[in-house]
Amino acid sequence: MELGRPRWKGKAFADIAHANPMSEIVTQLQVSLTQSKTYAMLSGCDILLEAGLELADLLSKASFGRGIVTSNKGKQWFQLGPEEAFYLCHALKCLKVSRDNETCMSEMELWDHFRSNREAFPEFYKAYFHLRSKNWVVRSGIQYGVDYVAYRHHPALVHSEYAVLVVADGDGDASSGRLRVWSDLHCTLRVCGSVAKTLLVLTVRRYGSDRNSLNCLEEFIVEERTITRWVPERCREDQGLEEALGVD
């Protein structure tokens, strides 16, 4: 991924971000969840996590989940998406999930549950893991017609730089079907351009036939590709001469 200049939302926000690296914030969250032995509850395709004030602050700073407003000021609930929850369980090993507040689900049980609700979950989780492991903050990109948006730091400090599409290698139910026709590509690029984001396509290639086991994640390879619109006016040989002569 080629990095451009970040678009900070305030003059001092770059200094705030540099003084508080996202990697350190995520590590603090990992330690807090591990020490508290926090259990989250499975609710359909989402995970509900009850957090005290300190844990809620770390979840917000690390940009995991979405806070749910309640009348209890001492506790706060967070709703985690499937990829977020599984990243905390599988990659960071700091969160336990239960169905009934008693029985802890294994990673394999949680994997099977998410796969049963979304066939392409393995590819989407691999893409999410790929970005998070590089210390990008990953949020839903549904409002821009993409799968994710990627931020250099917390969304309160900086605008997202990438609109991310996840493309599963091959046909079948695991493939998203995106970017197979030019009209889809043009529409997506126009939306990205209008909101000052670069389209990042993550192609998840599978080297193996078994998608049922967690081991398949080791057989996935993520390929990055950025796509931008070609603007002919920026590439004309006579552009420099016209600008020098003041010709419109």
| 217 burial level (CB within 10 Å; 0-12, 13-18, 19+) | middle
Distance in angstroms (rounded) separating the CA atoms of residues 82 and 124: 10
Q: Is 214 left (phi over 0), alpha (psi -120 to 50) or beta?
A: alpha
Distance in angstroms (rounded) separating the CA atoms of residues 57 and 29: 9
On the CB side of 36, CA atoms within 13 Å amount to 18
- Any idea which residue has 């603090």 for tokens? 28
In terms of residues, how long is the chain?
Answer: 248
* Residues annotated as catalytic (active site), given as ranges: 151, 159, 197
